[in-house]
Amino acid sequence: MITQERVKQVFKYVQGNLYWRIKLGTRGKVGSKVGNLNAGGYYIVQVDKVQYYIHRLIYLYHYGYMPKFIDHKHGKSIGNYIWNLRPCTVSENRANSSLNKNNTSGFRGVMFHKKSGKWIGRFKHEGVNYDLGAYDDPVTASIEIEDKRKEVQGKFYKRI
């Protein structure tokens, strides 16, 4: 596991990015920006034969430890600024995620139940299932679910 000392030896942090302080083998030039974008939309880098997400190294660089999960407060597209990173649980990270690409209702946690012909409001947080009933339209279901999500998810709540 990489240490804060090693991260600071290898990289320099400037406004949400890491830059090479030293040359590691054939990797990058000293002073050049670090990282390659992976399929999931996150920047990664290899250090000492281990691959890391850059946002995780930035957190370690600043705080001296690497939490199990890190949330981008304002979404990963805003970048890896240290003010945008915070430790979280899996549920908290999901609470702050974008709308799933397979979503058909246009609202988080709202799905059409074919058998009943109703829109269902449902989500899970910290292992607890929240079933908020069946509604005639997706808008009403979304209003109910958003109120409950805001209450349960606290600072990780994200309105879509």
pLDDT digits (tens, 9 = 90+) for 130-143: 998 999 999 999 88
Q: Give the residue, 71 or 75, on which the prediction is more confident.
A: 71
Residues 10 and 83 grouped into a single domain: yes
Average pLDDT of the chain?
A: 90
Q: By residue range, what is the domain housing residue 137?
A: 100-156
Residues 105 and 127 grouped into a single domain: yes
Q: Please report the pLDDT score of residue 85 as a whole number.
A: 95
Mean pLDDT of 24-31: 83
Flag whether 76 is in a domain. Answer: yes
The CATH number of residue 112's host domain is 3.30.730.10
Residues 69 and 133 grouped into a single domain: no
Residues 74 and 144 grouped into a single domain: no
Whole-structure pTM value: 0.79
Dihedral angle at the C-alpha atoms of 107, 113, 117, 121, nearest 10 degrees? -40
Q: Please report the pLDDT score of residue 145 as a whole number.
A: 86
Q: Please report the pLDDT score of residue 160 as a whole number.
A: 63
Mean pLDDT of 91-115: 85
Flag whether 94 is in a domain. Answer: no
Mean pLDDT of 2-14: 97
Residues 107 and 145 grouped into a single domain: yes
Flag whether 92 is in a domain. Answer: no
Number of domains in the chain: 2
Mean pLDDT of 1-6: 96
**CB 30 within 8 Å of CB 49:** no
Q: Please report the pLDDT score of residue 77 as a whole number.
A: 66
Q: What's the 3-state SS for the chain?
A: CCCHHHHHHHEEEECCEEEECCCECCECCCCCECCEECCCCCEEEEECCEEEEHHHHHHHHHHCCCCCCEEECCCHHHCCCHHHEEECCHHHHHHCCCCCCCCCCCCCCEEEECCCCEEEEEEEECCEEEEEEEECCHHHHHHHHHHHHHHHHHHHCCCC
End-to-end CA distance of the chain: 36
- Report whether pLDDT(149) > 90: no
Flag whether 95 is in a domain. Answer: no
Residues 11 and 74 grouped into a single domain: yes
Residues 80 and 118 grouped into a single domain: no
Per-residue confidence at 4, pLDDT binned at 50, 70, 90? very high
Angle at the Cα of 67 from the Cα atoms of 80 and 31, rounded to 5 degrees: 40
Residues 63 and 132 grouped into a single domain: no
pLDDT digits (tens, 9 = 90+) for 13-25: 999 999 999 988 7
Tell me which of 43, 61, 87 is where a domain ends.
87
Residues 109 and 72 grouped into a single domain: no
Residues 12 and 65 grouped into a single domain: yes
